[in-house]
Amino acid sequence: MSQGDAGYPDFQDHLAQLDARGLLRRIDRPIDKDTELHPLVRWQFQGGLVESERSAFLFTRVTGAGGQAYAMPVAVGALAATPEIYAVGMGVAVEEIGARWLHAMKNPVPPVGVNSPPCQQVVIRGDALTGPGGGLDALPVPISTPGYDAAPYLVATLVITRDPDTGVRNMGTYRAALKAPDRLGVRMATRVGGAGGYLHWRKYRARGEPMPCAIAVGAPPVVAYSGPQKLPVGQDEMAVAGGIAGAPIRVAKAVTVDLEVPADAEIVIEGLIDSEMLEPEGPFGESHGHVALEDFNMSMQVTAITRKRSPVLASIVSQVTPSESSVLKKVAYEPLFLAHLRDEMKIPGVVSVNMHEPLTNLRPVIFVRFTAGTAREEVWRGLEAASTLQAQCGKIVVAVSEDIDPANADAIFWSLAYRMNPVNDVRIVPGRSSGHGPKGAAAEMESGILVDATRKGPMTPLALPAREYMENARAIWEELELPALSPQSPWHGYAMGEWTDAWEAFARNAVAGRWSENGAATWLRRRSGIEPETPVSKVR
């Protein structure tokens, strides 16, 4: 299929675009899906590479622990190894991702039904699901966390369910463990702010009926991105995906369950989820960075597997952040929070909302940047709004001034050390949900922390050489072919309000070799009757 048929790229079109842009690494040597595949991709997140050096991977010779060879390639990192890859999937520049999401949510485009969809070119059902290599065991599903996970897991999923009362569809990205050639263990979050599919399951349980379910793997990126996004309950993700694409998403009726599925997905797994009996699922390395142990979760009896004739299985790197999973959330969540603070809450002075990614998985720790001089009451309004927008986000929210880079932990600690007085600038917020995290690490209800670490008034300049001198020195550094630099802000000095024209003139005289003129000027300003270290600004 080409992009022109649907008006948006399918997953393989997307891979071709990544390849054309140099964002795809093709691995043609044998790679074991159970022990090697995810660890290999994981190194680009854990190996000290800068974000721009990450890429998507396409494995063309996938093998398994039993020595079997799979004809189906596996792609990892192709949805969001970097914001640039995500932007390619959205069809926009990185800086336009947030605006596209907001536009799509306000201007959804309903899907359109098609017959003979690509995702049903091959249909496996009935006894064929349990025949040799006919069911789930025929798919090259990787083990995400070798050494800890209990099974191969489908992770780049769109799990589709429907509210039995309203008929409204939900699509969420939930993990699914291979249990048998025709059975999956599906985990849908039950916490506050968790899975819409779980809310549907509760209604089916009340009815005493199994819940129809379809799991799309390798959906077109504009559709796949809707799964991790937290949309309002009752909003159809498929229509929002159409808003992103600017065209209706093609859907088709599933073969064995009464649901619509993305017509251009690589693979669709159909089945019924038991609404009475739950099955132990796990352990599995979770996105909060800890291994989730066994829980009783949903058991899905597979009724059909449909796919393209030559599909690619999509997987994502999750677990400890940074990861593909965290990028998927970060590029969409941050503009959503910013729009809430600016447009809904009308809080002046907000520059950006930044969710801390390494290890903390975005949601617990949020930084809100404000322009200098923002009223303190507005800073507190911003802190409170960021901590309450979503139940699982904002356990720790820190306000900083716009000169602080939230990605630089050293700059954050600097701001906390010199711009925050705990007595006045820290508030403890009780009664928060425990949110997304390892079980047993916190009580069911916990608390939050709001911190105002903004500048409260003028401060003296940062004591680094001014920008022009650092830039000149860097040019010399590169001329000398010294080791490559990776500057972190702040890397040059700058004024923060407490700096006069007279002191600026002193500094200019010093670098021009006219320091004696400064000495002559200070000689004329000598005083008696004062103590050493008395600030000149305090003496009239």
DSSP 146-171: TTT-SS-EE-SEEEEEE-TTT--EEE
Any idea what DSSP says for residue 340? I
In a domain, 55, yes or no: yes
pTM comes to 0.86
Report the pLDDT value the prediction gives residue 246, as an integer from 0 to 100.
93
Give the end of a domain, one of 435, 452, 469: 452
441: in domain: yes
Length of the chain: 540
Q: Examine the domain organization and report whether 189 and 255 are in the same domain.
A: yes
In the block, residue with structure tokens 């390639």: 73
**Same domain assignment for residues 67 and 152:** yes
Residue 306 belongs to a domain: yes
- Are 379 and 308 part of one and the same domain? no
Residues 168 and 280 in one domain: yes
The answer to whether residues 122 and 226 belong to one domain is yes
Q: Which residue among 429, 452, 475 closes a domain? A: 452
Interior angle at CA 429, CA 428 and CA 434, nearest 5:
115
Claim to verify: residue 101 and residue 220 sit in the same structural domain: yes
pLDDT at 1: 41
Last residue of a domain, one of 452, 474, 499: 452
Sign of the four-CA dihedral 134, 138, 141, 146: positive
Is residue 278 in a domain?
Answer: yes
* CATH, residue 279: 2.30.110.10
The pLDDT value recorded for residue 537 is 85
Residue 295: inside a domain, yes or no?
Answer: yes
Q: pLDDT 10s digit of each residue in the chain, 540 long?
A: 445 577 899 999 999 999 999 999 999 999 999 999 999 999 998 888 888 899 999 999 999 988 899 999 999 999 999 999 999 999 999 989 989 998 998 899 999 999 999 999 999 999 999 988 789 999 999 999 999 999 999 999 999 999 999 998 999 899 999 999 999 999 998 866 567 889 999 999 999 999 999 999 999 999 999 877 777 666 788 999 999 999 999 999 999 999 999 999 999 999 999 999 999 998 888 877 788 888 999 999 999 999 999 999 999 998 888 888 888 888 888 988 999 999 999 999 999 999 998 888 888 999 999 999 999 999 999 999 999 988 888 999 999 999 999 999 999 999 999 999 999 999 999 977 766 666 655 556 789 999 999 999 998 998 889 999 999 999 999 999 989 888 888 999 999 998 999 999 999 999 999 999 999 999 999 999 888 989 888 887
Residues 437 and 360 placed together within one structural domain of the fold: yes
Same domain, 136 and 283: yes
Same domain, 247 and 304: yes
Residue 233 within any structural domain of the chain: yes
In a domain, 322, yes or no: no
Does residue 181 fall inside a structural domain? yes
Phi, psi of 245 (to 5 degrees): -70, -25
Domain count along the chain: 2
For 210-364, strand residue ranges (E) read: 211-217, 250-253, 260-262, 267-281, 284-285, 291-292, 295-307, 313-315, 350-355
Q: Containing domain of residue 403, as a range?
A: 345-452
pLDDT of residue 321: 80
289 and 385 co-located in one domain? no
The verdict on 305 and 352 lying in the same domain is no
Question: Are residues 297 and 372 part of one domain?
Answer: no
